[in-house]
Amino acid sequence: MIKLKFRYILLLLLTLSCSTEKINLSPVSDSMSKNSGKTFNYTLEQRKNLIFYSSEITNLIASFPKFGNEAVNKEVLNLKYHLKDYIGAMEESNLNNLANSQRKFEKSYKKLQHLRKFLKKQDDEVLNRYLVRIKINMSFLNSNISPKQQSAS
């Protein structure tokens, strides 16, 4: 009988503990959730384009092939990393990270353009196709930020 009551109490506590949400009243978490006023005010159309072009870039990153040249593969990994940083900074409206990741992306892009001459013709064409599609999507992504928004922070 005591075991049965104990099980019911334990079951009741388990269901109540799982169904309640903890409220965090810490001022630190509240200040971290705000971006201190440095956010882009995207219109609905800009937000839609941001999602579309960033998903295009993410899909290209995910489907990037491996090449026969190790230096190219290493630089492709760097390019992927900088693109992910760029998309993250764009979504967070962080202009400093946005500028840094764009500069690093451009540097990696130029290095890949230089390394293309060491690839076979077929690999060179595949890499060029990916790089062109990434560059086009990056241009469209950059066009979503107006100069007024860039100078706001």
Helices (H), the chain: 2-19, 27-33, 44-62, 70-92, 95-115, 121-142, 147-151
Residues 6+ apart with CB under 8 A from 101: 82, 83, 85, 86, 89
Q: Could you tell me the residue ranges of all domains in the chain? A: 43-148
- Which residue has better confidence, 148 or 107? 107
Question: Looking at residue 50, what is its pLDDT?
Answer: 86
**pLDDT (mean) for 72-87:** 93
Q: Across the chain, what does the average pLDDT equal?
A: 80
pTM exceeds 0.85 for this model: no
Quick one: what percent of the chain has pLDDT higher than 70? 74
pLDDT of residue 37: 44
55-68 confidence digits (pLDDT tens): 999 999 999 999 98
